[in-house]
Structure 1
Amino acid sequence: MDFDLSEEQRLLKESVDGLLNDSYDFDARKKYRAEKGGWSKAVWSKLAEQGLLGLPFPEADGGFGAGAVETMIVMEALGKAMVLEPYLPTVVIAGGFLRHGGSAAQKAAHIPGIIDGSKTFAFAQLEKNSRYDLSDVAATAKKKGGGWVIDGEKFVVINGENADTFVVTARTKGGQRDKTGVGVFLVPATAKGITKKGYPTQDGLHAADITFTGVEVGADAAIGDPENGLALIERVVDEARTALCAEAVGAMDESLKTTVEYLKTRKQFGVAIGSFQTLQHRAADMFVAVEQARSMSMFATMAADFDNAGERATAVAAAKVQIGKSAKFVGQQSIQLHGGIGMTQEAKIGHYFKRLTMIENTFGDTEYHLRRVSDGGGLV
């Protein structure tokens, strides 16, 4: 199988790498974190100007018709730079719901705003005690006339402070953990009855806890079948997991590079500590872990084209398992090889480890996905 990038994909990689190298060093990231909502509107506009926000959308909707490989390339670059801007919730997740389940009217209303950078989205899915179960939904959407009334609470909604629109999971019928009766709704952030409590997360992003109290939306707010939306949710979340795997590879790759550079410059007993064979072996083990993660990220990306939904889900889960293991190993080794400086806020290596830890716990941790692989019968 050919794993080489095409000429267009190589140009995309050079383009996004060049953009972030010019505008997203560690000091610039600190400034962006201090802006309202925790990310830079100027950088977001640059991503739009480069066409990166329109990559996965069909040409008929104003996009570039790119696929999972192009998303992998962008997410890996975003991971290397620890980008704060809401690419995942807006382009990957909200864009995924619109592409796979949105009506023509919904696509026309929202996709152009995503592509030109004028709209951002947030995925309001996680609930108290729901953990990683996508069908565990207590928030409700009840019929009222021709529309819906949404009530409930959602927690740790990334980009919840700044988003123009929420993609909300809500139950239209059945019990809290039933597989049926879950719908997906587009809710304007300015709708009456919404309250938000924003806060920074451990990895430098910003999230919000959101309460929906009698929030009324029209019939056109539902994406797909409001009583059988779980399959759509699972598909989009698996795409988000795949994107996170690529982001983690980028973060691990940069962590390894930063650590090796430190080993070459930090001196002990009059020589660079990188000359010590034991530390060379640890760096080599880090390299192996990064490459294992990279190969599984590629596997998950290719799984986007699998016809069988079960096989696709198992492949993504297997990738998330390897990503979780590699991220933990690379992060811990990076901190230890940096010594005390690695524990400080001034050193960027600790920030990479924080982001990797959050990725490992987003949409299912390593143990959760190991069970998914087992339940799916394994990869063979």
Structure 2
Amino acid sequence: MDFSLNEMQQMLSDSIARYVSREGASARDFSPARWKQFAEMGLLGLTVSESLGGSGGSAVDAACVMEQLGRGCVRTPYAFSAVYASSLLGDLGDAAQQDRWLTALASGEAMFACAVYEVEARHDLLPLAARAERQGDGFVLSGHKSNVWYAQHASHVIVAARTEGVAGDAQGLSLFVLPTDAPQLVWRHFPTVDGGCASELTLNKVVATAAQVLGPVGDAHAALSTAERRTTAALAAESVGLSTVMLDMTVEYARTRQQFGQAIGASQALQHRMVDMLIEVEQARSLAWFAATSVDEGDAVAQTRAVSAAKARTGAAGSRVGKDAIQLHGGMGMTDELLLSQYVKRQMAVEQTLGDTAFHVERFARID
């Protein structure tokens, strides 16, 4: 299979690489001004249809963006607003909702968080216990959500709640688009290991109008699964970007660090270690691009198999490369002052997001 980028994808990748290089360390932290720059570059509407101000791009296009953001160790809500939320809004929203919310997303006027997952489910969509009870033409939402990434910066949150059935049922799930400052949304924000942020959300009898229901009532599971696959494939690409730079840092350090009158990279034992790291990165890259290609093709089972394989491989490779990079840098590899440590922490966060390595290995094994 040919994983080479076409001309437009190469231009997209190169433009982000130049942006990250130009902005330097300041690009690594989120800011509203930087989010607006992403909009001006066309990144936020990358997967939004052209009629709504986007580019109509594919999962491979999103992977191009995410790999370069990974190379720059950029901590951003991009995966959850421009990929996850964009997928849900595009697949489920009616014409009026898409015109309202996707246009705002693409222009940078709105940022979306996704309150889908719950503690009992860990990395999975199910069980989902939060409930939405009918009240007149609208609903009243109750329950608790965990791991709502970058919610404290978002203007809107997409909430998954059950309108019928029991917690383990795939049917009966509905989505609601609410402003993050809506009454009775109780937030607890906290920092993540990589310097980003996430939140827990308590739905304390939140009132949602009929206009805030996204798509058909009780039929959101398929769209949630699709959005999850697209975002997981994007995160796998980000992990490849992180691992690539950790390897490059290690090789450069081995070339310049002198010990006993020669560069430590002259040691054959260390050369073998770095070759092993390279193999890990290249295997991860192949599976990440295969997953991105698969997300836009084939059935849901084939997509899930490809995405889980990629997330498991990129997670394992990132962990291995990060640990080896720290060891080959010596004690200084663990210090906050060294840029490597930021990449290692970001890789740890990505590996735990939307399913860690063990979760995806188990999911892959269950697929018939």
* Common fold by TM > 0.5: yes
Distance 1:133 1:44 in 2: 29
Between the aligned partners of 2:3 and 2:125, the Cα distance in structure 1 is 33
Where do 1:9-20 residues align within 5 Å?
9-20=9-20
1:244 counterpart residue number: 235
Corresponding pairs, count: 368
Superposed counterparts of 1:259-278, under 5 Å: 259-278=250-269
What's the CA shift for 1:285? Answer: 0.7
Q: Is the 8 A contact 2:3 2:290 kept in 1?
A: no
Q: Is structure 2 residue 281 aligned with structure 1 residue 281? A: no
Hey, what does 2:117 align to over in structure 1?
A: 126
8 Å CA contact 1:293–1:322 kept in 2: the answer is: yes
* % same residue: 38
Choose which of 52, 56, 61 in structure 2 pairs with 1:65. 56
* Alignment partner, residue 85 of structure 1: 76
2:20 touches 2:27 (CA, 8 Å); kept in 1? no
Instruction: Give the aligned partner of residue 303 of structure 1.
Output: 294
Separation (CA, whole Å) in 1 of partners of 2:337 and 2:55: 39
User: Out of 332, 354, 368, which is 2:323 matched to?
Assistant: 332
Contact 1:311-1:376 within 8 A present in 2 as well: no
Aligned-residue Cα RMSD (Å) equals 1.3
Contact kept in structure 2, 1:130 and 1:137, CA below 8 Å: yes
Paired residue type of 2:20: L
Whether 2:205 is the aligned partner of 1:209: answer: no
**Which amino acid is the alignment partner of residue 6 of structure 1?**
N
Tell me the CA shift for residue 29 of structure 1: 5.2
Counterparts of 1:141 and 1:342 in 2: how far apart (Å)? 49
**What is aligned with 1:317?**
308
1:56 pairs with 2:47: yes
1-side partners of 2:3 and 2:76: how far apart? 29
8 Å Cα contact 1:135/1:182 also seen in 2? no
Is the 1:186–1:223 contact (alpha carbons within 8 Å) kept by the matching residues of 2? yes
Letter in 2 for 1:22: R
**Alpha-carbon distance in 2 for matches of 1:354, 1:9:** 28
Instruction: Supply the distance in 2 between the matched residues of 1:9 and 1:130 (Cα, whole angstroms).
Output: 36
Q: Deviations over 1:110-149 (max 9, x none)?
A: 1121111121111112222221220211111111111111
Distance 2:312 2:190 in 1: 29
Tell me which of 145, 149, 163 is aligned to 1:172. 163
Q: Does 1:22 align with 2:5?
A: no
TM-score of the aligned structures, taking structure 2 as reference length: 0.97
Give 1:218's match in structure 2, choosing from 209, 228, 245: 209
Give the Cα–Cα distance (whole angstroms) in 2 for the partners of residues 224 and 135 of structure 1.
Answer: 19
Structure-1 separation of matches of 2:158 and 2:293: 26
Q: What amino acid sits opposite 1:271 in the alignment?
A: Q
**Matched letter for residue 267 of structure 2:** F
Distance 1:3 1:317 in 2: 18
**Residue 187 of structure 2 corresponds to residue 183 of structure 1:** no
SS of the counterpart of 1:129? helix
| 67-76 vs 129-138, greater mean Cα deviation | 129-138
Deviation at 1:7, TM superposition (A): 1.4
Secondary structure, aligned partner of 2:4: coil
Task: Indicate the SS of the match to 2:360.
Answer: helix
Give the Cα separation in 2 of the matches to 1:246 and 1:133: 20
CA distance in 2, matches of 1:283, 1:113: 45
Matched AA of 2:105 = I
User: Aligned to 2:120, what secondary structure does the other structure show?
Assistant: coil
Give the structure 2 partner of residue 94 of structure 1.
Answer: 85
Q: Is the partner of 2:121 in helix, strand or coil?
A: coil
Match of 1:200 in 2: 191
| Partners of 2:13 and 2:306 in 1: CA distance | 25
Q: Secondary structure at the match of 1:235?
A: helix
Q: 2:366 aligns with which of 338, 351, 375?
A: 375
CA contact (8 A) 2:247 2:277 kept: yes
CA contact (8 A) 1:135 1:230 kept: no
Q: Report Cα offsets for 1:12-61 as digits up to 9, x if no partner.
A: 11111111111133xx257x3xxxxxx21222121111111111111111
- Which residue in 2 is equivalent to 1:35? none
Using the TM superposition, name which of 230-239 and 213-222 deviates more.
213-222
1:36 match: none
TM-score scaled by length of structure 1: 0.94
Cα distance in 2 between the residues matched to 1:87 and 1:267:
40
Gaps of 5+ in 2: none
Deviation >6 Å, runs of 4+: none
Contact 2:176–2:213 (8 Å) recurs in 1: yes
Partner SS state of residue 53, structure 1 = coil
